């Protein structure tokens, strides 16, 4: 695996690879790698000739400074994992490398409703920061394929819009959410859960599954289902749901007809850790 810290040297290397006809796959991450990330690397390796993984904890997408400070960093374990799955290239830039003109970089796109609702409403500035860094990374790596997880449902929709708006010649591949054996969606933040919180966290996916089953009955209105989910989560001491919402799976607008493709999305606080998850309903 070749490790690059500077965009220019990575660019020079990738130009050579592309000139040889190699197709490039890209997996952007914030490190603290787990099997969910690895599934994206494996998908990239199956689809492309050369996989670039980036590790960069992007300061501009953290609306909560404590979350940024507490974000786990496990660099040497990450390197071992990437070597084991035979990832060809790791890009590990510094903040200065990605934001040479400082963090108040004006490069921002207006995505409208899709970035203002749900996570956008509860984490102001998060998607602007995320889109900003993904755009910078795409301009450096210029991948043929970009691999992202369904786990961050709203994020992958916005990145799809970014690719369209900026006319990037990159195909977005969305990979399924990897879960622990009890159903908890894998996340770098899970390591911050203490024993008790980790046990409680299973309730998130359990509630999503319950609502999916219940949504098959047309007599249950979506409003009732959302309320039922909130009630179930709130009833458990130690769990504080921030939102539970059923939306159109493409636009994230409220569902008008049950024949639309629907997704249930939720954000929940457990033991001081904010976790998100989602499930397609039909």
Q: Which residues are catalytic?
A: 37
Span from 74-82, 87-95, 143-151, 199-207 in contact with ligand AMP (CB under 6 A): 143-151
Asked if residue 132 binds ligand AMP (CB under 6 A), the reply is no
Binding test (CB under 6 A) with ligand AMP, winner from 123, 151, 203, 247: 151
Alpha-carbon gap, residue 18 to 4, rounded angstroms:
17
Residues 6+ apart with CB under 8 A from 117: 154, 247, 252
Asked if residue 187 binds ligand AMP (CB under 6 A), the reply is yes
Alpha-carbon gap, residue 220 to 238, rounded angstroms:
28
Binding test (CB under 6 A) with ligand AMP, winner from 149, 233, 263, 266: 149
Tokens 């990239």 -> residue: 44
Beta carbon nearer to ligand AMP, 188 or 245: 188
What SS3 state is found at 199? Answer: helix
Span from 15-23, 33-41, 77-85, 216-224 in contact with ligand AMP (CB under 6 A): 33-41
Closest C-alpha among 178, 162, 180 to residue 170: 162
Asked if residue 185 binds ligand AMP (CB under 6 A), the reply is yes
Return the exposure string of 249-266: e unless at least 16 CB atoms fall within 10 Å of the residue's CB, then b.
Answer: beebeebeeeebebbbbb
User: Strands 273-280 and 262-270: what pairing?
Assistant: antiparallel
Contact criterion met (CB below 8 Å) for 175 and 153:
no
Q: How far is the CB of 16 from ligand AMP (least distance, A)?
A: 27
Binding test (CB under 6 A) with ligand AMP, winner from 36, 93, 120, 241: 36
Number of residues that bind ligand AMP (CB under 6 A): 17
Contact criterion met (CB below 8 Å) for 152 and 276:
yes
Beta carbon nearer to ligand AMP, 115 or 222: 115
**Residue 251 has what DSSP assignment?**
T
Asked if residue 126 binds ligand AMP (CB under 6 A), the reply is no
Asked if residue 30 binds ligand AMP (CB under 6 A), the reply is yes
Strand segments, DSSP code E, in the chain are 2-4, 24-29, 50-55, 89-91, 145-149, 171-175, 239-248, 262-270, 273-280
Span from 8-16, 103-111, 173-181, 254-262 in contact with ligand AMP (CB under 6 A): 173-181
Q: How far is the CB of 172 from ligand AMP (least distance, A)?
A: 10
Let me know how long the chain is: 282
Span from 32-40, 107-115, 120-128, 216-224 in contact with ligand AMP (CB under 6 A): 32-40
Asked if residue 40 binds ligand AMP (CB under 6 A), the reply is yes
Q: How far is the CB of 92 from ligand AMP (least distance, A)?
A: 13
Q: How far is the CB of 37 from ligand AMP (least distance, A)?
A: 5
**Residue 148 has what DSSP assignment?**
E
């Amino acid at each position: 695996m070749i490790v690059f810290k500077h965009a220019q040297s990575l660019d020079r290397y990738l130009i050579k690879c592309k000139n040889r006809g190699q197709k490039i796959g890209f997996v952007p991450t914030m490190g603290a790698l787990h099997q969910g990330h690895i599934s994206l690397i494996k998908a990239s390796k199956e689809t492309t000739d050369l996989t670039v993984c980036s590790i960069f904890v992007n300061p501009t997408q953290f609306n909560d400074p404590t979350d940024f400070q507490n974000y786990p960093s496990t660099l040497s374990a990450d390197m071992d994992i990437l070597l084991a799955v035979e990832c060809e290239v790791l890009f590990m830039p510094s903040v200065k490398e990605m934001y040479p003109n400082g963090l108040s970089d004006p490069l921002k796109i207006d995505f409208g409703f899709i970035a203002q609702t749900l996570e956008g409403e509860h984490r102001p500035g998060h998607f602007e920061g995320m889109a900003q860094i993904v755009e910078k990374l795409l301009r450096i790596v210029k991948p043929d394929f970009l691999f992202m997880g369904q786990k961050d449902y709203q994020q992958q929709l916005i990145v799809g819009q970014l690719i369209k708006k900026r006319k990037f010649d990159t195909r977005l591949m969305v990979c399924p959410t990897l879960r622990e054996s009890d159903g908890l969606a894998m996340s770098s933040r899970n390591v911050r859960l203490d024993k008790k919180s980790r046990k409680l966290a299973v309730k998130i996916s359990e509630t999503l599954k319950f609502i999916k089953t219940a949504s098959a009955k047309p007599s249950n209105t979506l409003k009732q289902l959302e309320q039922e989910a909130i009630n179930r989560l709130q009833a458990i001491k130690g769990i504080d749901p921030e939102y539970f919402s059923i939306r159109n799976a493409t636009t994230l607008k409220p569902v008008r007809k049950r024949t639309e493709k629907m997704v249930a999305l939720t954000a929940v606080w457990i033991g001081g850790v904010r976790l998100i998850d989602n499930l397609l309903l039909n």
